[in-house]
Every structure is written in C-alpha cells, then in structure tokens.
Amino acid sequence: MSFADTAPAPARDDGVIAVHGLTKTFGPVRAVDDLTFEVRPGRVTGFLGPNGAGKTTTLRALLGLVRPTAGTATIGGRRYTEIPRPQRVVGAALEAASFHPGRTARDHLRVYAPQVGVDDARCDEVLGLVGLADVAGRRVGGYSLGMRQRLGLATTLLGDPRVLVLDEPANGLDPEGIRWLRDLLRFLAGEGRTVLVSSHVLSEVQQTVDDVVIIARGRLVHASSLAGLAALERTGTRLRSPDPDGLDRVTGRWGAAVRRLAPGAVEVDGVEPAEAGRAAFDAGLELHELASLSVGLEEIFLRLTAPPADEPAGVRS
C-alpha cells in the first residue's frame, strides 16, 4: 500500500465549498435531494432557484444549522462545526438580520467583536468598507432597509472571512443598492475570497456572478460559468409564406441555419425576426407568419427550473 493510500486527507484551507450528495428531508418533504456542486474561491457564485427550491436548507446544512439526512457540505474540506473559530473563516448572513433599534451601528458591531475575536478598530474598518462610516454613530432604528443590509454585511465581514455565504442579500435593495452590492462582492472575490450568493431571480445577480449553480425541487439542474449558461441562449425566427419557392429563395442565404418544417414553413437559427422580415419585404414575399424563437437568459433559467408538466407549481414531496 502506498503512502498516499494511508495518509489522512490533508486539511485543506483553500476556501472551496463542496456539497456532495447532500440530502435533507423534513418528514415527507425532500427539501434537498442528492445535491452535488463546488464553489471556487476568487469568484462570485450565484446559487439560484425558485422559491422553495432548497437554497436556504442547503446553506443551513453548510453552516451546521441543520443535520443532513445524507451527504456532506464542507468548507475547505471541513464541516462548519469542525472549523476552529469559524467566524474567522466563514462570514454568513442567512436572513435579514435583526438589530437592536436603540443601538448605533458601531455599538452593534462592538457587541459582536469579542465573539469573533476582533478589536474595535476592525469595527470601524468594516463600517467604512460597507459605506456606513458617516452614520456609524446613528441609532439603527432610523436606518433604511438598504442601510440595514449594509450593516448585516459589515457583521459578516467582521472576522475577515475568506468565505462569504449570503442568502438573498439583494432583497429589498433599490437599484443603486444592488449596484453597490455588486461592486463590493466583486471586490471581495477579487481579493481571492469565495463568495456564494443565493437568489431566486437570475436578473438580480446576473451582472454580479461569474458562476451559477441552479437548483429546482432540491436537485441540481445546471452548474457552469455564467458564460456557459449564456451559451444556451439562442435567437431564431419562424417564417410561413403561401409562396414556398419565394420563401426558399429568401431563406436560402442563411444556408444550414434553415430548418424546413413543411413547404412554405421554415425556422432559421441565429437570425432575428427584424432581419428575416426585412429580407422578405425586400424580396416582395408575402408572409403569413413571422415569429421570434429567441430564448434569453431569464427564459432559460425559467425553463431549467420549471416544474414537470404533470406537477402543479409549488407542490412537492
């Protein structure tokens, strides 16, 4: 037997989140079903799925808050509960944090600081990082939702963690707040941190994420770079004409991109309806149908996560 066979698995400190065969049932409900994926450092990863897909349950399992029925969820090769001083490794915000309304933002952080093992100077540092330095002395009770989200993030950043796990952080933010969040998350990933952000709306995180992990009904339906998901996008047009020969002449220019459905009916890949309509118009061709077959990113997301045709939306066991 070689040394490699007998050596214990090295404790990795690479900030990789690894979910392997994760399953969690609540009575008859399979909230997470044999889920496997990895999240890499230095990138922002969107953890996406419709309401009830199992995102929060997965994140709770990752943070040691629920016990998996089967499988593992680890950070740097270790379960959360096995990580010494986990707040120095993982910053997590699972639901909208509640703050004592009478406390200032600075005091809120100073209450947490000893638990995390950082000093007051670090509190001011993270308040600056999230843009709250000027209002750090104001009572949180008077904060807007966006300011509370920033304070929530400041709390997760307190221990300078190399892994960030944020559940729906864009919830309740206005467009300016979303832009701010995007810049901050990209900055943090740029420093080499692992950033996992859940959302049930692709468009909310589309401009933020490098990678996507998409789940539905507790199962993985897609994992790739954002570019990999975008590669599934397509444009196309269906044309129908009472003049099949004329239609063939007009669409012949698009060669192999043309699929003939029937005499006088074709679909053309990679050509927008405007271009196809213009070509028909220029040729004096009568059209009875000019329909878009284009599928955008949001539509792809909806198709990937749609319930099977025989299952009404929202019903699952």
Ligand X SMILES: Nc1ncnc2c1ncn2[C@@H]1O[C@H](COP(=O)(O)OP(=O)(O)OP(=O)(O)O)[C@@H](O)[C@H]1O
Compute CA distances 54 → 29, 47, 219, 224, 233, whole Å. Answer: 11, 10, 8, 19, 25
Q: Could you say which of 49, 68, 161, 264 contacts ligand X (CB under 6 A)?
A: 49
Residue among 56 and 206 whose Cβ is closer to ligand X: 56
**Residue 217: which H helix or E strand, with range?**
none
Residue among 67 and 85 whose Cβ is closer to ligand X: 67
Hey, what amino acid is at 312?
Answer: P
Phi-psi region of 77 (alpha: psi -120 to 50; beta: other; left: phi over 0): left
97 counts as binding ligand X under rule CB under 6 A: no
169 counts as binding ligand X under rule CB under 6 A: no
What token pair was written down for 177? Answer: 């707040």
2 counts as binding ligand X under rule CB under 6 A: no
Q: Are the C-beta atoms of 33 and 22 separated by less than 8 Å?
A: no
The vertex-251 CA angle with 250 and 256, nearest 5°, equals 155
156 counts as binding ligand X under rule CB under 6 A: no
Residue among 29 and 295 whose Cβ is closer to ligand X: 29
Least distance (Å) from ligand X to the CB of residue 31? 3
26 counts as binding ligand X under rule CB under 6 A: yes
Residue among 49 and 264 whose Cβ is closer to ligand X: 49
Distance in angstroms (rounded) separating the CA atoms of residues 86 and 89: 5
Q: Are the C-beta atoms of 68 and 60 separated by less than 8 Å?
A: no
Residue among 25 and 72 whose Cβ is closer to ligand X: 25
Residue among 31 and 113 whose Cβ is closer to ligand X: 31
Q: Could you say which of 45, 57, 155, 237 contacts ligand X (CB under 6 A)?
A: 57
DSSP bridge partners of 30: 25
Which one of 51-59, 127-135, 240-248, 289-297 is the stretch in contact with ligand X (CB under 6 A)?
Answer: 51-59
Count of beta carbons in the 10 Å neighbourhood of residue 180: 18
Residue among 56 and 149 whose Cβ is closer to ligand X: 56
Compute CA distances 58 → 72, 78, 206, 224, 259, whole Å. Answer: 10, 16, 21, 18, 43
Which one of 48-56, 68-76, 84-92, 133-141 is the stretch in contact with ligand X (CB under 6 A)?
Answer: 48-56
State the DSSP string of 21-56.
EEEEEETTEEEEEEEEEEE-TTSEEEEE--TTSSHH
219 counts as binding ligand X under rule CB under 6 A: no
What token pair was written down for 261? Answer: 């459905």
Least distance (Å) from ligand X to the CB of residue 226? 20
What token pair was written down for 50? Answer: 């419709």
Residue among 31 and 205 whose Cβ is closer to ligand X: 31
Residues 232-251 binding ligand X (CB under 6 A) are: none
29 counts as binding ligand X under rule CB under 6 A: yes
52 counts as binding ligand X under rule CB under 6 A: yes
Q: Could you say which of 15, 46, 54, 68 contacts ligand X (CB under 6 A)?
A: 54
Q: Nearest 5°: phi and psi at 248?
A: -65, -40
**Which positions touch ligand X (CB under 6 A)?**
26, 29, 31, 49, 51-57, 200, 316
